[in-house]
Amino acid sequence: MPVITLPDGSKRDFDSAVTVLDVAADIGPGLAKATLAGVVSGQEVDASYLIEEDANLSIVTDRSDEALEIIRHSTAHLLAMAVKELFPSAQVTIGPVIENGFYYDFSFERAFTPEDLEAIRDQVFELVKSKDRTTIKLKPYRIITKNKNIKWVKANIDVVRNERGKITNVQGIVEDITEQKKLEHQMSKALEKEIELNELKSGFVSLASHEFRTPLTSILASAELLEVYGKTLTEEKYYSH
């Protein structure tokens, strides 16, 4: 039975685990409608985060200091979803939130045209208006952390809507696969080195075989000539050949 402590020091008891949105709804429907995310014991989480033990909770709304960055982060995910639905072969690469907005880099076979950008914008609006729960699995992509480090991640992203079809949350499960990518890179380099060594070995064997074979062929040819024409040569010429 978690006890949730709010920023004003008040406490709320619950009989079982609750989400951030459940706590907001328990406080009031207006707050639940305005909830974007939450900060649970210092950790920023989405509104569907399940609180299973006693915790401090701050509910993030559009009036909160953290709201703009969260909205930009969620919108960036919507952009990635729109691009993947329109251009399935496009690979999501780097897409951080920045000081005045956000951006996403995509790896694609060609540059996006102005018409493509309009289609992407319209697809984002369609995702927002859709009454279904939308899920997309993103291929591994890179992000830049606040410390300017590059990490590889993969993510499943969901757009969650209420009974009226309004988006209440954009949530995702993000897995850090940086170490996996490092191992893959090391294995790739090792394989390249092995292929290079095998090519060198094959070249050496071919060269050595040629060098050894040529003198033996010459000796064999000389022996055959001597056998055929040896009787016509003087003893001196015979042994000199």
Quick: pLDDT tens for 160-179. Answer: 665 555 556 666 666 778 88
From residue 120, alpha-carbon distances to 100, 217, 236 in Å are: 21, 72, 94
Whole-prediction pTM = 0.48
* Residue 47 to residue 159: CA distance in whole angstroms: 12
Could you tell me if 27 and 38 are in contact, meaning their C-beta atoms sit under 8 angstroms apart?
no
User: How many separate helices (H) and strands (E) can be counted in the chain?
Assistant: 6, 14
Q: How confident is residue 114, by pLDDT bands cut at 50, 70 and 90? A: very high
Q: Find the helix packing angle between 114-129 and 67-86, rounded to 10°.
A: 110
Q: How confident is residue 118, by pLDDT bands cut at 50, 70 and 90? A: very high
Residue type, 34: A
% of the chain residues with pLDDT over 70: 68
Question: What does the block give as tokens for 87?
Answer: 């251009």
> Residue range 85-98: average pLDDT?
79
Pairing assessment for the beta strands 101-102 and 97-98 based on DSSP bridges: antiparallel
What SS3 state is found at 100? coil
Quick: pLDDT tens for 42-89. Answer: 888 878 788 888 989 988 887 887 778 877 877 887 888 888 889 988
What SS3 state is found at 57? strand
Could you tell me if 12 and 26 are in contact, meaning their C-beta atoms sit under 8 angstroms apart?
yes
pLDDT in the model for residue 46:
79
pLDDT in the model for residue 158:
67
Contacts (Cβ under 8 Å, ≥6 apart) of 76 = 95, 96, 97, 102, 103, 104
pLDDT in the model for residue 19:
87
Mean pLDDT across the chain: 76
Report which listed range, 1-10, 15-24, 109-118, 198-207, is most confident.
109-118
Which of 13-17, 56-60, 196-200 is predicted with the least confidence, judged by mean pLDDT? 196-200
* Residue 149 to residue 153: CA distance in whole angstroms: 13
